[in-house]
């Protein structure tokens, strides 16, 4: 399963795919690994305040295209991953993950009580918008993990942030789940002949402007 490139080479190989070949489907075993990479990502205090929604339903993918600034990669993708973050921190959500943690680690139920109490003291008094800004940020680390994992598996992706979040939340009934959409990641295989970006050089700020060294 492992390719012969170094991870750095796979990150250079990766690009934001502009045209997928809709006939080429990604093996579900590879998609599972891309989702698992997101699942493994670190999050603030281990709260893991987001979920991944994996969409293969073609009709639904097509409904999302106009919500995503008409980016047809959504419909042409093999699988569409939506990263959706908790709309807020709640006492129940914080308790749930720490109860699961102590069970899973076979620890006393009150093992993290002091820590959990401090988390609640911090988050539960904050405005919902401030907490959502924080949960949303956590999803970005996982998004990075999934993009890197996909590249390692030679699966193409288009990182997408520019879409009508409220419309997508409504279409996917996310409000009822206490979630808000943050990011989308269509997965598939590039249609090289019809992708204007595939052969253009990857451009970044010159390294001297990107890195500041303090020795």
Which residues would be at the binding site for a copy of itself (CB under 8 A)?
A: 1-2, 6-8, 11-12, 14, 16, 33, 35-37, 39-42, 44, 46, 48, 51-57, 60, 97, 100-101, 104-105, 133, 136-138, 140-145, 147-149, 152, 159, 161-162, 172, 177, 200-207, 209-215
Separation of first and last alpha carbons in the chain: 40
| Residue number with CB closer to a copy of itself (122 or 194) | 122
Q: Specify burial of residue 23 (Cβ count, 10 A radius: 0-12, 13-18, 19+).
A: exposed
Question: Which of 184, 191, 190 lies closest to 155 in space, CA to CA?
Answer: 190
Report phi then psi at 25, rounded to 5. Answer: -100, 150
Q: Specify burial of residue 83 (Cβ count, 10 A radius: 0-12, 13-18, 19+).
A: buried
| Residue number with CB closer to a copy of itself (56 or 72) | 56
CB of 103 to a copy of itself, least distance (A): 9
| Residue number with CB closer to a copy of itself (112 or 189) | 112
CB of 214 to a copy of itself, least distance (A): 5
| Residue number with CB closer to a copy of itself (108 or 203) | 203
Provide the strand spans (E) within 133-178.
156-157
Q: What is the DSSP letter of 176?
A: G
Contact 171, 67 (CB under 8 A): yes
CB of 191 to a copy of itself, least distance (A): 19
Q: What is the largest CA-CA distance in the chain?
A: 59
CB of 21 to a copy of itself, least distance (A): 21
Q: How far apart, in whole angstroms, are the C-alpha atoms of residue 34 and residue 26?
A: 11
Q: How far apart, in whole angstroms, are the C-alpha atoms of residue 121 and residue 160?
A: 34
């Amino acid at each position: 399963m492992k390719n012969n490139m170094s991870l750095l080479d796979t990150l250079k190989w990766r690009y934001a795919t502009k045209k997928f070949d809709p006939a080429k489907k990604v093996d579900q075993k590879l998609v599972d690994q891309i989702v698992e990479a997101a699942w493994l990502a670190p999050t603030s205090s281990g709260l893991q305040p987001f979920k991944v929604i994996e969409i293969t339903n073609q009709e639904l993918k097509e409904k999302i295209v106009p919500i995503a600034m008409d980016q047809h990669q959504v419909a042409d993708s093999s699988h569409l991953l939506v990263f959706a973050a908790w709309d807020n921190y709640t006492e129940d959500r914080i308790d749930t993950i720490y109860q699961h943690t102590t069970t899973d680690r076979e620890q006393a139920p009150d093992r993290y009580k002091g820590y959990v109490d401090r988390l609640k003291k911090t988050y539960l008094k904050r405005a919902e918008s401030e907490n959502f800004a924080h949960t949303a940020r956590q999803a970005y680390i996982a998004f990075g993990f999934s993009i890197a994992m996909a590249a390692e598996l030679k699966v193409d992706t288009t990182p997408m942030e520019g879409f009508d979040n409220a419309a997508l939340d409504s279409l996917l009934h996310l409000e009822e789940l206490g979630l808000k959409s943050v990011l989308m990641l269509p997965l598939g295989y590039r249609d090289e002949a019809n992708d204007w970006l595939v052969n253009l050089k990857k451009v970044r700020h010159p390294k001297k402007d990107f890195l500041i060294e303090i020795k």
